[in-house]
Chain A
Amino acid sequence: MNILELTKLTKKFGDFIAVDQLTLSIAEGEIFGLLGANGAGKSTTINMVSGLIRATSGEIQLMGKSITNNRHFAKMNIGVVPQDIAIYEDLTAYENVKFFAGLYGLRGTKLDEQVKKALEFVGLSDRHKSFPKNFSGGMKRRLNIACAIAHQPKLIIMDEPTVGIDPQSRNYILNSVRKLNEMGCTIIYTSHYMEEVEEVCSQIAIVDHGKVIAEGTKEQLKSIITDTKDVWVEVKNIDGLKLEPIQTINGVLGVEVSDNQIKINSDMGVNNLNAIIQHFITNQIEIHSIQEKEPNLESVFLTLTGRSLRD
């Protein structure tokens, strides 16, 4: 069952079309990665889903209900972790989570329980009386998440939740994303860090110029754009190395040399690693290291959009 369906979603700001007939389905229980460079329409799409702005045309359905006619229902079932830390510095961690949870109608014991649970989930139970001004960037990000999950939403939208934090907090947050997913939450996850998306997302959509240009699992996306692989060989001394014999090895499509490194591009379907190694041994060229690299999401994104994700 799809928890969220976007159909021909369009948003115009004057003459500028930020989101252009975007159609997307997100199944319940997924961690859905939304990739797009700045200005691709990703944030506008998220803002429309989370109710910050209205769509110019098109339809957004959450759990089978149009959010245009069921805005309150939609907001009650969505938790938004904004890219910018949106907490009150004058309130303690507990008071921050309590305030946001209270907006969803939670009161009394239930509210207290949910707040404590959310703080425990993000690892801030022992700092519940502290003010965010005394928190590190990572702790603030975790508090930001706690504020979004205390009301136990079905769909959680996380917009760049790991920007500007230390690796430890980043790992904590990524683990939290997986745990939330195991607890039954569907998550829409956007990040500039491609490796994060590869690590946690089960389904990925690439958005460019307001449209979805590719969608699928990371394996499916990689297979869309390329059927080649690269082998990187680092040698002690490159003198005397002849490139032509390497190019005659079965499956090799091209060879490039940079310093003491040789990049050999081969057909994905041919296993020629042994033949390549044998060539270096036969020619008495000492190998320092050898690495086979498959295309990653970064190269997929670059190929599809013609620009890097951070552009």
Chain B
Amino acid sequence: MKDFIWLTKHFFSLILKKPKTLLLYLGTPLVSIGIAFLLFGSMGTESVHVGIINDDHQKLATETIQFIQGLKQMNVKQIQQKDVSNQLASGNLDLVIRFQPGFTKGLYSGKPNQVEVISIKGAAVTTQVESYLNHHLDQLSKMGQAANGDIKMFEQIYQGTKKGSLQVVTHSTQDESINDQISTGSIGYLLVIMLISAANLSGTILQEKENRTYFRLLSTPINARKFVLANVCVNMSIMIIQAIITILLMTKVFNIQTHIPVWGLALVMILYSFVAVAISLVMISFSNSSSTASTLQNIIITPTCMLAGCFWPVEIMPNFVQRIADFLPQHWTLETLKQLQLGESISQLSLHLAIICAFAAAFFLIAIYKFSRNDDVRTFL
């Protein structure tokens, strides 16, 4: 046991001796969050660019334009009729609102018909503006109906509402789906980074072989099992530290609400660490050089992570691809986290956790079997 601890400490010291490698292992979680922010962070926060054509030039048209300008995340500018097509086609404007002649007159009489909304982006862009606009015009038209065409009466009611009795207040509500996308996106990328890190750390087994220190070690009281186990210990520790750093950065630094209990998140990530290390050992066991291991890493990690939904939601992929994802541990890890986000408890997800454990066990068994099949001086176990 003493020699095992000595060897494990040695592996750690070798990592600490290389600040760049250490920075790579511990800094990559930040990269995962960064990528998720880049991809999902901007969603739902962009302004809507609105063009206004005022052909009415009356009081209520002007005040309605001011109302639109006062809405949050609206970028409003006045344009001419001849510019509509160009501005919409070039994407400079998302929609155009045209106040036709007689707009104010129509409102006074309670019939607001002279307004037109033009867009080539469709309901995705126009719905929000239209709902605010309709609400505003509905209020004005009701005042018009109450005044029954009497402009003086309308003005009295209108001024009254402006002074405070009737006001439209807008609030921006937090879009939780974006927050959840950033957190699951960060974790998706973290899963990829953890797999790559695990493969690199297990790769030191091959490097020790290539440097001949592995064989030198086997002539000491260290045997191959202790050697691999010490490597696994170091590997696991780095994986767990990466997961902790990611969780802390997400919650404490970037204030991303994961909507997952911290301990549940930690448990799932620890289980995934086992899977990552086990997969890396399988890749090493089938490699006889660092270059072979590197090729295997490229063949296995990126495609499986794509299929499992680490880079994008699995739901956007065809059905048959989604079925393939069911056979990938990354998918089950993400799925467990999604369920936790939806409010399921850890105990309700025991089957999910058992599946992740089963993946880890299966990969470890494959690695052990493959290692033990070697019977020459290059043997591992």
Question: Does B218 count as interface, using CB distance less than 8 angstroms?
Answer: yes
A90 with B17, Cβ < 8 A, contacts A53-B377, A82-B212, A82-B216 known: yes
The residue in chain B whose Cβ has the minimal distance to the Cβ of A73 is B221
Question: Does B7 count as interface, using CB distance less than 8 angstroms?
Answer: yes
A98, chain B: closest CB distance, angstroms = 10
B161, chain A: closest CB distance, angstroms = 77
Which of B9-28 touch A at CB < 8 Å? Answer: 10, 13-14, 17-18
Q: Is the CB of B220 within 8 A of A100?
A: yes
Stretch with Cβ within 8 A of B (4 or more), from A102-110, A177-185, A280-288: A102-110
Instruction: Provide the bound-state CA to CA distance between A104 and B216, in Å.
Output: 13
Q: Is the CB of B220 within 8 A of A75?
A: yes
Q: Is the CB of B221 within 8 A of A75?
A: yes
A88 with B14, Cβ < 8 A, contacts A53-B377, A103-B6 known: yes
Extra contacts, 20 of them, besides A51-B219, A91-B14, A100-B216 (Cβ < 8 A), are: A47-B377, A52-B215, A52-B218, A53-B379, A75-B219, A76-B221, A78-B219, A86-B211, A86-B215, A88-B211, A88-B213, A90-B14, A90-B17, A99-B10, A102-B6, A102-B10, A103-B3, A103-B220, A103-B221, A104-B220
Q: Is the CB of A52 within 8 A of B377?
A: yes
Which of B206-236 touch A at CB < 8 Å? Answer: 211-213, 215-223
Q: Is the CB of B219 within 8 A of A50?
A: yes
A-chain residues with CB within 8 Å of residue B376 when the two chains form the complex: 13, 53
Question: Does B63 count as interface, using CB distance less than 8 angstroms?
Answer: no
Q: Is the CB of A51 within 8 A of B7?
A: no
B216, chain A: closest CB distance, angstroms = 3
A-chain residues with CB within 8 Å of residue B216 when the two chains form the complex: 80, 82, 86, 100, 147
Q: Is the CB of B18 within 8 A of A90?
A: yes
Number of A-B contacts (CB under 8 A): 67
Question: Can you list 26 A-B contacts with CB-CB less than 8 angstroms, sorted by A residue number?
Answer: A13-B375, A13-B376, A50-B219, A51-B218, A52-B215, A52-B219, A53-B375, A53-B379, A71-B223, A75-B221, A76-B221, A82-B212, A82-B215, A82-B219, A84-B212, A84-B215, A85-B212, A86-B213, A86-B216, A88-B14, A90-B14, A90-B17, A102-B3, A103-B220, A104-B220, A105-B2
Which of B343-381 touch A at CB < 8 Å? Answer: 375-377, 379
Question: Does A133 count as interface, using CB distance less than 8 angstroms?
Answer: no
Instruction: Provide the bound-state CA to CA distance between A50 and B222, in Å.
Output: 12
Point out residues on A near B: beta carbons under 8 Å: 13, 44, 47, 50-53, 71-72, 75-76, 78, 80, 82, 84-88, 90-91, 99-100, 102-105, 147
The residue in chain A whose Cβ has the minimal distance to the Cβ of B213 is A86
B-chain residues with CB within 8 Å of residue A80 when the two chains form the complex: 216, 219
Q: Is the CB of B17 within 8 A of A91?
A: yes
Instruction: Provide the bound-state CA to CA distance between A91 and B213, in Å.
Output: 13
The residue in chain B whose Cβ has the minimal distance to the Cβ of A95 is B13
A-chain residues with CB within 8 Å of residue B217 when the two chains form the complex: 103
A-chain residues with CB within 8 Å of residue B213 when the two chains form the complex: 86-88
A32, chain B: closest CB distance, angstroms = 18
How many chain B residues touch A (Cβ–Cβ < 8 Å)? 25
A269, chain B: closest CB distance, angstroms = 47
A-chain residues with CB within 8 Å of residue B221 when the two chains form the complex: 72, 75-76, 103-105
Contact of A103 among B7, B14, B211, B377 (CB under 8 A): B7
B-chain residues with CB within 8 Å of residue A75 when the two chains form the complex: 219-221
Instruction: Provide the bound-state CA to CA distance between A82 and B10, in Å.
Output: 21
The residue in chain B whose Cβ has the minimal distance to the Cβ of A56 is B375
A-chain residues with CB within 8 Å of residue B211 when the two chains form the complex: 86, 88
The residue in chain B whose Cβ has the minimal distance to the Cβ of A76 is B221
Instruction: Provide the bound-state CA to CA distance between A72 and B223, in Å.
Output: 10
Instruction: Provide the bound-state CA to CA distance between A103 and B220, in Å.
Output: 7
Instruction: Provide the bound-state CA to CA distance between A184 and B288, in Å.
Output: 40
A-chain residues with CB within 8 Å of residue B222 when the two chains form the complex: 103
A-chain residues with CB within 8 Å of residue B377 when the two chains form the complex: 44, 47, 52-53
B219, chain A: closest CB distance, angstroms = 4
A-chain residues with CB within 8 Å of residue B14 when the two chains form the complex: 88, 90-91
The residue in chain B whose Cβ has the minimal distance to the Cβ of A75 is B221
Most chain B C-beta atoms within 10 Å of own C-beta, residue among A78, A80, A86, A147: A86
Q: Is the CB of A86 within 8 A of B375?
A: no
Most chain B C-beta atoms within 10 Å of own C-beta, residue among A47, A50, A52: A52
A-chain residues with CB within 8 Å of residue B6 when the two chains form the complex: 99, 102-103
Most chain B C-beta atoms within 10 Å of own C-beta, residue among A47, A50, A99, A147: A99
Instruction: Provide the bound-state CA to CA distance between A88 and B216, in Å.
Output: 11
In the A-B complex, the 10 residue pairs with the closest CB atoms: A86-B216, A80-B219, A84-B212, A103-B220, A50-B219, A86-B212, A86-B213, A102-B6, A90-B17, A75-B221
Instruction: Provide the bound-state CA to CA distance between A78 and B10, in Å.
Output: 22
Instruction: Provide the bound-state CA to CA distance between A102 and B7, in Å.
Output: 9
Instruction: Provide the bound-state CA to CA distance between A82 and B377, in Å.
Output: 13
A-chain residues with CB within 8 Å of residue B212 when the two chains form the complex: 82, 84-86
Instruction: Provide the bound-state CA to CA distance between A74 and B375, in Å.
Output: 21
Instruction: Provide the bound-state CA to CA distance between A84 and B7, in Å.
Output: 21
Instruction: Provide the bound-state CA to CA distance between A220 and B379, in Å.
Output: 39
A-chain residues with CB within 8 Å of residue B215 when the two chains form the complex: 52, 82, 84, 86
A48, chain B: closest CB distance, angstroms = 10
B-chain residues with CB within 8 Å of residue A78 when the two chains form the complex: 219
B-chain residues with CB within 8 Å of residue A87 when the two chains form the complex: 213
Most chain B C-beta atoms within 10 Å of own C-beta, residue among A51, A87, A88: A88
A164, chain B: closest CB distance, angstroms = 14
A-chain residues with CB within 8 Å of residue B220 when the two chains form the complex: 75, 100, 103-104
Instruction: Provide the bound-state CA to CA distance between A76 and B2, in Å.
Output: 14
Instruction: Provide the bound-state CA to CA distance between A50 and B223, in Å.
Output: 12
Instruction: Provide the bound-state CA to CA distance between A82 and B219, in Å.
Output: 10
B12, chain A: closest CB distance, angstroms = 12
Instruction: Provide the bound-state CA to CA distance between A86 and B2, in Å.
Output: 22
A57, chain B: closest CB distance, angstroms = 14
